[in-house]
Structure 1
């Protein structure tokens, strides 16, 4: 087992090392240094002439700025490098602006802070003259908004004005715009370019630097890219996300990720994938490539490098199958036989080669026995049935709670909308009341510290009772879109991929041929099955979609934004369309990912407090709504073949796996059977009992009351144990009778001692039977009381007789 675990660790290492990144980050651009500019070899006097020609900032003093710039230039000339940029880099100035404090002179007046600011004034003039080009690390640590604002006034201010106009058209608030303008100013100072000279590589280099520096937020970069689109040369990419996305790769590239050494086998797998590509979507092709090249042949080469052919020796095939069956790197897909899909792919690979060789002899050289036999994948049908049963139980457990989830989502949406409206009706630092709670509109402390007031302050509400600060600008949209997603999923039964693909163009009208009635329809674009279908829009669904459209138009100047959706599975970007499910982040419109929608559901569920039968928080997935839609439709009487068409299934058997129908028909049929059986039985059994019979019945239970508990014999049966209750297995002990039972045991022991002393051997045998029975009952009673004490609950008497071995 130790050797097998080590083999699994080796496989895990191989798969992790060859796992492709989810996006292009252009890390190589982070290392690019800015080359010297055209003013790199100017003399100090020529540089100072340029400094003096710079416009005077309101915080600058012309003579002092000249002297401070000259002092910095003299310091840089002490470096051995040729040119100002080389001297700047070799001086260590990139480590931060703190080095200027070493340039203080005795004649400088003022505090240390004033001396530092004076020198920074001279440095700012050199940067604006583009004598040196600092790195992003220096500019990030510089922390001077005056430098960035001066850069905007120096480097083609008309282009910055154009960016600001674009931001106003997109309703970008001043705080977001401020971050974007500062970011663009950093890039200009670093590259020495003007705004219209920037390229996609310049922005990607900044993103790569922020990642290398540990900053994954890159605040404002995505918005900056969109505002620069059409001004700078961004190579046709309208968003930075488009520039970092992988497209579909060739079969050779998919296989080469695993670095197969055997070129013959590598070429066979590539050729096989190319043959299969026409009948597979890209996600399935990628998965098949990982299975054949990664989990199959890469593992063979790792553990059996001597194998040179697809014809595997028996021991090699057996060892590979054992590794796959026990590998902890392959996640179980809700079944114990999680390795079956891998075995099926490899078996199909070998069988396809054999079949294709009958039509194309070029495949004949690779027709060898499959290492996976039919018996290796036997039993998968049983696991599938177990999986379906578990899924059906999951839906039966969640369907009754659906109204609670829907009500909770709608209430929270209304609550957050009311809170946002009440907050916007007051000014900053004013208090207001909502839903019986007092709030105060506030802004972050950093705004006051930086003496910054936004034209549109953030929507922050401080709860005056708890002190919690709520960002309503984030919670209100999340509440709305969670409600919209839940309502649309439960009314349509669409897949989550189809949900985010719904556009305004998908709402169409259909006129019934006979009645000429106009009914609204919702077009579902091809997704998993690549089959288009139309759904009838119910009044409830129409209300939800109308609310979504109204919100999008309100937030986008009267029109629905045109956005492109990137399919992360198919690695393609769709055209710009008016998608109905898109939300705004940082001034940009994004189509939510499946993870985002799942997080909306989780937040809504967390507020409802729903739990499963085990007391754990109840979790819904978007696909659960699809199954609940099918179950509810079939339970309500809709024919299953119609439900199959609504769900977009090609086979009605697939739909049957989705419907967790409650066994109402089984209950009705069994109750009808009971009624029929009662009708066939004698009517005398269903007559009213006489007074004598009822009195006898009551007297039976009175006679069951005993000294140590009650008698558990059935009604209508006589006592078969001659009233030897202490020996009788039907005696149900009363926990309160323990003391009495111990007295009986002590008395029995005394009687046995007396019988032994008198030689009454027959009496001794009978008394021993009674003593053993009493001792067994006492042990059972103590065990029951101990269990009740541990659980804190009174033990339940099930009436199970205690069987005493008399012979012992």
Structure 2
């Protein structure tokens, strides 16, 4: 009995696409004024803003109460700062910053509760003194707080005071840049707050910040919260516009990394054996030249993660590729199952692929050892036998059958999906135009519904070249607040993506790589006609190809170009595209499928592309056979394009060229043939076959031929029923009808068949008595055939079936 062993989850993707900046968290903070004495620090406190307010308010009788409150806070801060500095002084360190870190105060604020418990005042008053004093010490840069402390620290107005006291001129310039870009007040305040935190943490002025300062905050947030910081990307953009950070740079471009060395891909799985680690790195390096980067990462995840890391975790101490039989068998049992995100163990779907990769690893080393002796020490028998990896053809057929059924379900609904995308695009565009023509807070009717143009509390603006405010409307029937600008933009790109997919059959990477430069033309040499073509750059197969642009596709591409030019001053912007699979950033090109996000145009990501398609699918209400919403993937459009084109009459080899397939078998696997298509194709085949047959085969038959035809049906009548051989074919069994499978026994002759079986049994007994062994053998074959026909008749009778004789055909005389 096989023991079910839970398999540790190993991520095939060695690291997310974001660069790891955790090393920045250990940077020293060197901007503190920690060389001041305690008395000097206390003397600097009146320089802060609240002390200056006292002079403005003094002498005004009705403000006396407010002056009293400010003075009371000043005294409390002085007391708190005096006690905090005295507490820090008892800890080791050359300055206030080192004492702050060594005391543990930089981790959290729990130490405040332990300060002077016998003060005599309530805890709330004491805490207010200490938090106010801490704010003063932060603003004076006596100590530089960590982001953990700044997140826990709640002292209203501290971040605003940073912008008032630390280079207010630069903060004012940052604010002006945000206003010129029409950034909403909410988003601009978030960016300024982020910059204020970085200034407090680093001890640098805002015009002295570096990219690493912003990336450090991102790394801290990712390690603590698992997500980024709101406003950090916009803060980067504002500093880049001012020239403080590299002009034109974005935080997203700095976070995305390129292709990593093979050693890093292997080291992500923490292999203990240095010898095995080295051989895995060497093997993958040798294969890297022939693989794309995505496949390389997958192989590194399988060999270093699911294979060797799993072996070391369950069988520590192994330092050789030559695995004992028990270890290999235990590993193969463990990988039979994998764990779903919800914790349930299920059968592994890619088991055959995983075993094949491991077997190929061992066989490659054995093959290379014949030419290079340095591989000989690592040549070992494969733990995966040839028998265990057989079944690729069966698995491929099963996968192909599932794929065909998927296309059969989705292709009939493709016109509805396209019509829905077109309808939603027109509806959202007309709603936006109607809302733009209305003043604010005006109620208007559109398409039988009542709306009111409104402005949300955090009025977000559209980030683009013109940066016009987003138009919001409220559906008075449902109470739903609708961003008409955003809805119109989403529906336009959903329509453009669906139409381009269904008219070209391109891959998702190829669609996102289409640029304005890809629209070319070709003049036919015979007719001088100008034919528009779409150039598809090399993607998966590294083979460039040209597609003929249909009138429908030309309308879609023209709409995209017109829209981009209208939004960006008459030209399609030059943007770079990050390839998520190859981990490479391309050159700036006029990509067609780009949207403005975060104030800058960016090529639509593959994830966002799927979300746009799903929005249209949700509006169609399509469901599968189980009642679940029907899901379309980008590759479904490619298969539907191939199926529709070939069933429409396009030769398969031409479809293969359009799809960019190097092998015709790949294209044939894409085709999901329907039953009615098969019938039409077969009838067409018969018509073509008749057209090439000799004409004399379709003449009128002679009298002799009619007589022979009629005689054939008469000679088919037999003792037990009728002979089923076709016209023009001789009897191949020399009239041994009881043995012939073409004999159709009449149910009415069942009794006679029983007599024949009885007679055959008697004759076999007689032959055995006389020693006629050859006769016994022949009679036994006849008896077995008769018994089978009797069993068939009895099965028909037991099921209650009735056999109807249709009689002889009526033949019209010529």
**Normalised TM-score (structure 2):** 0.71
CA distance in 2, matches of 1:275, 1:120: 60
Q: Where do 1:254-653 residues align within 5 Å?
A: 254-305=265-316, 307-328=318-339, 338-445=350-457, 458-653=470-665
CA distance in 2, matches of 1:236, 1:543: 37
Does the Cα contact within 8 Å between 1:482 and 1:604 map onto a contact in 2? yes
Displacement, 1:487? 1.0
Distance 1:563 1:40, change over 3 A: farther
Higher relative contact order, structure no. (Cα contacts within 8 Å, ≥ 6 residues apart): 2
- The residue number in structure 2 matching 1:73 is 78
Matched, 1:5 2:17: no
Distance 1:54 1:411, change over 3 A: farther
The size of the alignment, in residue pairs, is 674
RMSD: 4.7
Does the Cα contact within 8 Å between 1:508 and 1:522 map onto a contact in 2? yes
**1:597-649 superposed Cα distances (whole Å, 9 cap, x missing partner):** 22222221111011223333211100000111111111222222222121111
Secondary structure of 2:526's counterpart equals coil
Displacement, 1:559? 3.3
Does the Cα contact within 8 Å between 2:78 and 2:133 map onto a contact in 1? no
CA distance in 1, matches of 2:454, 2:128: 32
CA distance in 2, matches of 1:469, 1:611: 28
- The residue number in structure 2 matching 1:26 is 21
Secondary structure of 1:522's counterpart equals strand
Structure 1 spans left out of the alignment, 5+ residues: 107-111, 449-454, 684-716, 721-798, 804-808
Does the Cα contact within 8 Å between 2:21 and 2:216 map onto a contact in 1? yes
Matched, 1:41 2:46: no
- The residue number in structure 1 matching 2:252 is 241
Structure 2 spans left out of the alignment, 5+ residues: 60-66, 90-94, 461-466, 691-696, 708-745, 750-797, 803-814
Does the Cα contact within 8 Å between 1:68 and 1:123 map onto a contact in 2? no
Distance 1:36 1:307, change over 3 A: closer
CA distance in 2, matches of 1:57, 1:593: 55
Distance 1:339 1:427, change over 3 A: same
Distance 1:671 1:517, change over 3 A: closer
CA distance in 1, matches of 2:54, 2:638: 63
Distance 1:117 1:583, change over 3 A: farther
- The residue number in structure 2 matching 1:667 is 679
CA distance in 1, matches of 2:598, 2:57: 34
Moved more, 209-218 or 221-230: 209-218
Does the Cα contact within 8 Å between 1:416 and 1:475 map onto a contact in 2? yes
Moved more, 336-345 or 404-413: 336-345
Secondary structure of 1:347's counterpart equals helix
**Normalised TM-score (structure 1):** 0.72
Does the Cα contact within 8 Å between 2:505 and 2:639 map onto a contact in 1? yes
CA distance in 1, matches of 2:289, 2:611: 35
CA distance in 2, matches of 1:346, 1:653: 27
Displacement, 1:489? 0.9
CA distance in 1, matches of 2:657, 2:55: 72
Does the Cα contact within 8 Å between 2:240 and 2:246 map onto a contact in 1? no
Distance 1:73 1:522, change over 3 A: farther
- The residue number in structure 2 matching 1:761 is none
Secondary structure of 1:357's counterpart equals helix
- The residue number in structure 1 matching 2:728 is none
Moved more, 571-580 or 66-75: 66-75
Does the Cα contact within 8 Å between 2:11 and 2:301 map onto a contact in 1? no
CA distance in 1, matches of 2:28, 2:595: 37
